[in-house]
Structure formats: C-alpha cells, structure tokens
Structure 1
Amino acid sequence: MVKKSTLESILQQEMSDFWALLENEEKRIIAENFKIQNFKKNEIIYSEGENPAQLMCLLKGKVKIYKDGVGGRSQIIRLIRPVQYFGYRAYFSREPYVTAAAAIENSIVGFLPMPLVEEHIRKNNGLAWFFIKELSNDLGISDARTVNLTQKHIRGRLAESLLVLKENYGVEEDGLTLNIYMAREDLANLSNMTTSNAIRTLSSFTNEKIITVDGRRIQIIDEERLRKISKFG
C-alpha cells in the first residue's frame, strides 16, 4: 500500500498540470481515490469491448493504444509517454472501448475512477477545459496520422514512424539511438504495413546509411534525409 503522502507527492510532481487545477478539497478526494498499478512488458491494460471506468495516466514506461484489424493484424493508433492521460474518451462518449492498450515495456500507471473525474469536471471549469484540450490534441494527431498512413508510400510511413518514436520517447545519451526498443511487428503495426515490408524497408534505410540497426536498437544517423522521405516518400 502506497502512503497517502507519497500519492499526493506523485500527483503534485508527476501530474502537476492536472493537480494545479484542483481546489484543496478536490485534491484530498483525488488523493484518496488515486491508485497505482505496475504492468509488465506486453501486459494488457484494458481490452477492446470493455466498459471504461478509469482515467489512466502513464507515470513511467511506454504504452501503445491499438486496434485489432482484418486477419488478426493490429494497428497501433497512438503511443503514450509519461505523463499522458488515456482511457477516458470512451467513458465520455458512453460506449465500450473501441481500442486496447498494452505496455511496451515495464510501466507504472495511475488510475482514477471516471465517475469521480466527471463529478469534478462538472464543478471545475478549468478541469473541463483541460480535458477538452487533451481530447482536441489527440483528435488532431489522429486525423494527421490517418491521412499519412493511407496516402504515403511504405518508405514514407516507416520514416514517419521512426520520427514519431523519436519525438515521443527521445534518444539515448549518444543522441542517436531511439529510446525505445520496439519489435519489428509493432513497428510494422505502427506504420500500417506487413512485418516483412517493415524489415525490408529498415534494411533499405540501413543500406542508404540513414539509420543503423542492432537488434531492436535503431540509430537515426541522417535525420534530414529521413524527414524528406517522410514528407515526400
């Protein structure tokens, strides 16, 4: 059991944008209902078809939001990084989850009951605007990704995915290696292509000296060319 003082510290430090919008009494109630759960790599956080009940905030690790498609293939819809909120859209629309979420690596997620969040939103205009902004940002990213994944050539789609990974998770101390080790299947699912096409395209980028690959470690060594490929194919 995590101490109340520790929970309040996590809320104040890790979820400061959310926490700053609350009155003192609201903070007390939120802290009393805030729960933390650890997820192992590849563990499911929520599944498609489940009824939403929790606001989720990724405190540590990496999470993918995905949807199963035709023939058992998955499409990664969105990548979550600390500290981002997820799992609440379906509750607001009063429908079951249309996606699923899983940990890409060992992760820590904070949970708040959505009925409690809704209660505070109805009384706190600042909190309401906070979630309007969050939903609007997610919608804008989703719209752009939909166009790019359906209209770009596979080279452009994979190049964009590598840049998305860099923008979301950054790079290691060498300034080149992506700070995420993603399976080829997941990279393909992020890029809307088959795993074999993802492997071939990675090999092509390697031969062109745009990236280097060592297992799941990917270094971007010519970001300018990668951005041109992402834009023009």
Structure 2
Amino acid sequence: MSDFLMNKSNNAYHYLSALDCLNLLTEDQKKELIANKVDLEFAPHETIIKRGILADNIIYITEGLVKLEIVNDTKPSTIGFTQAHSFVGIVCCFAFRKYDFTATSLVKTNVSFIPMELFESFIKSNGKFALSLLKHISGVANSFFHRITSLSQKNIDGALAIMLLDFVKIYGSYNYKLPVGRSEFANILGYSKESVINTLSKFNKESIIKVDGRKIEIIEFNKLLQISKHG
C-alpha cells in the first residue's frame, strides 16, 4: 500500500507545487515577500475568502486544510481541497478582479496574504518563477477537471471511495480523522447524509475500512481503489 503514498506516478493529481514555485524566487525577492506578507490564523470552519471580495492578494497556506466552493444556480458546490504549501484559488486569481469562490478552513489553518502587485512584479521580472507558476496553475486546473469529472460519473460507492482516498493523499496516512461531519461530507459529495452514513457502514461491515466516529482506517486498500475506479 505504501506505493500509493510514495510513488508520484500513481498520483494523477501530482504537479509542480506552489512551494517549488516560491523556491525559484531570488533571495532579494524572498526577502521582499517576507517583509510584505501578512500572516493570519483561521479557526476550523472559518471563512478565509468570501465570494465577491477583491482579489488583491495571493493566498498561500502554510499549515492546514481548506475547502473551495463555487455557486451554481444559488447552490454551493465543492470543487476541491487545498492543503499546506499551496496557493488558494490560484486558477482564478489573475482572471477576475473579484474572487469567484469561497474558501473555508476545515481545520486550524495558517495562511500568508501576499500583495497581488508584489506577486505580479515577481512574475514580470523572474522568468523561471513565471514559467513554474504557469505549470503549477495548469496542474491545479487539470486536477480539478479530473476530480469533478470523475465524481460526476460515480455512484455513491465510487464517489465516497474517491473522497476517502483523497484524504489518504492529503494526510499521507491510511489512518486519519475526517475534518468534517457526516452532513458536510454529504454536501461535499452531493449525496444525502443517509446515503453517506449507509455507505460508510457498508464499507465498515465489509472490513474495507474501519470507522470510529470521524476516525477512518483503510484496511482493504485495493478493494477501495477498485471501487473508486469502477463504482
């Protein structure tokens, strides 16, 4: 099972990270970034970005986990999660003057607000950084497309299996605690709370996973992986 965590070639969502991009800044640019960024801490389930506010900062997560949502026909839809050492909503930041999504912390989350003008100056003056950022944005967009398309084609078993495996990647472990309750988990998947509870119970009875409240242990990894592909 460790190959799933260690082998990047098995991860369809692997791409050049935000940290890789920032490491390509010059020493002077890094000092300038540190001098101008603003660091804030958010409690679990606190709004980091409210849809419609001005996009005047690039937001970088130093610790925690963030849920991204967009609104279609007044109904919020979760488009993905963003974890530590990632930018928040980077695929939208340069296209619109206002954020077109909501970002909410799922656990205690620390973020750095980097002034947009400063970030753009780095792009204009540092070609290596600009190219790496372009590759990063393409990777993020591609992962969102794959995730949304995959979930839309799955039944509840397949969708839930995908989410459970997503959290394996996020936490780097086959044992973790879900950052949300059953109701919010159901909203993220787009299924009823009862469907999620029943499917978790079924996976538990079949010894595919072990469920203890929010604690999850992946027992039969290969079975869960097959369900995520064919469910």
- TM-score range normalised by the length of the shorter chain: 0.7 to 0.9
Which one of 48, 51, 54 corresponds to residue 48 of structure 1? 51
| 1:34 is the counterpart of 2:37 | yes
Q: Assess, with a 3 A threshold, how the Cα gap between structure 1 residues 77 and 154 changes in structure 2: closer, same or farther.
A: same
Deviations 1:155-178 (A, max 9, x none): 10110110011112222xxxx422
User: Could you say what secondary structure the match of 1:57 adopts?
Assistant: strand
Q: Which residue of 2 aligns with 1:63?
A: 66
4+ runs deviating over 3 angstroms: 68-72
Aligned 8 A contact 2:21 2:133 in 1:
no
How has the CA–CA distance of structure 1 residues 39 and 152 changed in structure 2, closer, same or farther, with 3 Å as cutoff?
same
Query: What are the equivalent positions in structure 2 for 1:76-95 lying under 5 Å apart?
Result: 76-95=78-97
- Structure 1 unmatched ranges of 5 or more: 1-14
1:220 corresponds to: 218
**Deviation at residue 69 of structure 1 after TM alignment:** 4.7
Equivalent residue pairs, number:
214
- CA-based RMSD of the aligned residues comes to 1.9
**Relative contact order (C-alpha < 8 Å, sep 6+): which is higher?**
2
Distance 1:16 1:165, change over 3 A: closer
What SS does the corresponding residue of 1:201 show, helix, strand or coil? helix
Match of 2:149 in 1: 147
Q: Which residue of 2 aligns with 1:4?
A: none
Question: Which residue in 1 is equivalent to 2:3?
Answer: none
Residues 1:181 and 1:26: Cα distance change in structure 2 (over 3 Å):
closer
- Secondary structure at the residue paired with 2:210? strand
In the alignment, is residue 107 of structure 1 matched against residue 109 of structure 2? Answer: yes
Scaled by the length of structure 2, the TM-score of the pair is 0.85
Deviations 1:118-168, CA, capped at 9 Å, x for gaps: 111011111111211111111111111121121111110110110011112
Residue 192 in 1 paired to residue 190 in 2? Answer: yes
SS at match of 1:111: strand
Q: What amino acid does structure 1 have at the position aligned with 2:127? A: N
Equivalent residue number for residue 5 of structure 1: none
Q: Equivalents in 2 of 1:83, 1:145: separation in Å?
A: 20
Q: Which of 17, 20, 29 matches 1:17? A: 20
Taking the aligned partners of 2:86 and 2:230, their CA distance within structure 1 comes to 30
Residue 17 (structure 1) shift:
2.7
Q: 1:218 aligns to what SS in structure 2?
A: strand
Amino acid in the other structure paired with 1:57: Y
Shift of 1:19: 4.0
Q: Distance in 1 between matches of 2:175 and 2:20?
A: 30
2:177 touches 2:214 (CA, 8 Å); kept in 1?
Answer: no
